[in-house]
Amino acid sequence: MRDKIIESVVNKIISRSDIGYKKYKVTLQDDDQTLDTWLNHIQEELMDAVNYIEKTRQSLRSEVEECYLRDIKSRHEDIQKEG
């Protein structure tokens, strides 16, 4: 495959499909749940995704703030040494 990113995503999709089949013993193609059930699955997955986004945004914000504070402290210490 010419694109390593796409290859990685495809491999993850295949792996997820294998896990789903082992867990539910049915392929997605053969799963005959109702439209409402499928929509509910989508809704739940999207709500989970929003939660994951919020968690990572908060984590990233904390990490950036910590780096910023370390940088300020380091600069302050450098100024103290010079002065």
Q: Tell me what pLDDT residue 18 has.
A: 97
pLDDT digits (tens, 9 = 90+) for 51-75: 999 999 999 999 999 999 999 989 8
pTM score, whole prediction: 0.67
Per-domain boundaries in the chain: 1-31, 33-83
Q: Tell me what pLDDT residue 82 has.
A: 85
43 to each of 17, 37, 39, how far by Cα in Å? Answer: 19, 10, 6
39 to each of 14, 35, 47, 50, how far by Cα in Å? Answer: 22, 6, 12, 16
pLDDT digits (tens, 9 = 90+) for 10-52: 999 999 999 999 999 999 999 999 999 999 999 999 999 999 9
Q: Tell me what pLDDT residue 60 has.
A: 96
